[in-house]
Amino acid sequence: MAERAVADSELDALLEQRDHLLASLDDLEREREAGDIDDVDYATLKDDYTARAAATIRTIDARRARVPATHRGSRRLFWIAGIAAIAIASGVFIAQASGSRRAGEFGSGEIRSSTPTLLLRAQDELQNGRFDEAIDIYDEVLDVEPANVEALTYRAWVRYRRDQIPDDVLPDFAEAVALDPDYPDARVFNAIVLLDDDQPLAAAEQLKAFDATDPPPFMINLVASRSLRENIMGALFSGDSPMPISATAFSTDDVVAVARSLADSFAPVEAQTLFDAVLRDEPDNAEAHTYAGWMLAQLSTTPAFTESLDEQGVADLVSSAFVFLDRAIELDPSYPDPFAWRAFFRREHNDIAGARADLEAFYALEDLPPDILALITKFSLDDVLSEDSEDSEE
């Protein structure tokens, strides 16, 4: 009973630490929205909180797996449902290193009791910014369990954050990936360091491998907070000698998705760089034409963007938007999106007859996108179906 009480106490402390880190992430987002923290500090702190939260959750997983079955009782189904994805990711390397042992189980002797405790202590040192102490603890774990992929990964990550020397840590990340190709943390940290080391092609390979691991939300958030995907693609597809998408680990669909996200985030230069990369590889890509055109259409009606242009510059922007949208419809008349966006744009330019024709063509197609239908309703685009087309002309 005393041992169970100690285990419960340790688990409660872990759960409290997890909740604290999650709350800290929420607070960090609010501080950024309020302008109380700059982008550099935000990215650094979010990296820290996300990495520590991910490791804490995995430690919780390991401890729960060691609770006797009679103690788990009715809670078994609850925690299996809640942490199954993370349990799979963190358990693979243990199974590989330990033969028939299952995820969450340890060998006999000192490793069984010490490894989770050491990993928790290392996270506590990280939480308090004591990098050297955390590295020493990860060294201790690896002395007794050389195949511990979590210790290997996080030791390399902490060393890199401390020293910023890629050559010192890339071999450790390579070893971690070899030990467990499905461990998402190693893939992400490896990608970050490779990009910093001016190896975007290798970084892209690590990020694609990360995507295939069904990663936990914390690591997905880390990728997003660092704009890692956008930065890798920018390094690959910009400059005087952009790389063909076909020569990278990304697909054109991957690049279009990121380009659309950048356009939505009002980053038109970066978005256009990626749309251009897609159209170099696939000149007839209707989606790229559609969303490049829609981005230009929106920019042409955004005062913050057009105030730096003269009248001819705005006219050229409008013309380019129509060229892209017209070409998208020509390439794929069964693709509904460009009809809707051109209808919006035509109404903006008082071409009610053209907007009506596009909207009718849109409704005649199948598999209409729910998000576009919602925007049509929100901005009353359906009104063009009843307006007099003779009231105005393009």
Do 189 and 288 belong together in one domain?
no
Where is mean pLDDT largest: 59-73, 77-91, 231-245? 231-245
* 35: exposed, middle or buried (Cβ count in 10 Å: 0-12, 13-18, 19+): exposed
Do 208 and 331 belong together in one domain?
no
pLDDT grade for 129, boundaries at 50, 70 and 90: confident
Q: Which of 226, 247, 262 is the endpoint of a domain?
A: 226
Q: Please say whether the beta carbons of 325 and 365 come within 8 A.
A: no
**DSSP track, 256-298:** HHHHHHHHHTT-HHHHHHHHHHHHHH-TT-HHHHHHHHHHHHH
pLDDT grade for 74, boundaries at 50, 70 and 90: very low
In the prediction, which pLDDT does 37 show? 74
Report the C-alpha gap between 151 and 119 in whole angstroms.
7
Residue 247 lies in a domain: no
Q: Indicate the number of domains in the chain.
A: 2
Q: What is the mean pLDDT of the chain?
A: 82
* CA neighbours closer than 13 Å in the CB half-sphere of residue 328: 25
Residues 6 or more apart whose CB falls under 8 angstroms from that of 148 comprise: 93, 97, 115, 141, 142
Question: What is the domain-level CATH number for residue 219?
Answer: 1.25.40.10
Indicate whether 273 pLDDT > 90: yes
Q: pTM (2 decimals)?
A: 0.71
Burial 324-361 (b: 16+ CB within 10 A, else e): bbebbbebbeebbbbbbbbbbbbbebebbbbbbbbbeb
Do 210 and 118 belong together in one domain?
yes
Mean pLDDT of 120-144: 89
**DSSP track, 17-77:** HHHHHHHHHHHHHHHHHTT-S-HHHHHHHHHHHHHHHHHHHHHHHHHHHHS-HHHHGGGHH
Residue 232 lies in a domain: no
Q: In this structure, what are the phi and psi dihedrals at residue 383, rounded to the nearest 5 degrees? A: -60, -25
Do 292 and 190 belong together in one domain?
no
Report the C-alpha gap between 242 and 272 in whole angstroms.
13
Do 197 and 84 belong together in one domain?
yes
What pLDDT digit, counting tens, does each position of 155-175 carry? 999 999 999 999 999 999 999
In the prediction, which pLDDT does 64 show? 57
User: Which DSSP helix (H) or strand (E) runs through 148?
Assistant: none
Question: What is the domain-level CATH number for residue 380?
Answer: 1.25.40
Do 193 and 315 belong together in one domain?
no
Report the C-alpha gap between 87 and 43 in whole angstroms.
27
Q: C-alpha angle with apex 57: 103 to 94, nearest 5 degrees?
A: 20
Indicate whether 279 pLDDT > 70: yes
Boundaries of domain holding 364: 284-391
Mean pLDDT of 247-268: 96
Q: Which of 159, 193, 226 is the endpoint of a domain?
A: 226
Do 222 and 299 belong together in one domain?
no
pLDDT grade for 392, boundaries at 50, 70 and 90: very low
In the prediction, which pLDDT does 116 show? 85
The more confidently predicted of residues 66 and 385 is 385
pLDDT grade for 9, boundaries at 50, 70 and 90: low
Do 80 and 163 belong together in one domain?
yes
User: Which DSSP helix (H) or strand (E) runs through 97?
Assistant: helix 76-97
Do 107 and 220 belong together in one domain?
yes
Do 27 and 173 belong together in one domain?
yes
Indicate whether 346 pLDDT > 80: yes
Indicate whether 33 pLDDT > 80: no
Do 327 and 194 belong together in one domain?
no
Residues 6 or more apart whose CB falls under 8 angstroms from that of 196 comprise: 164, 166
Do 69 and 202 belong together in one domain?
yes
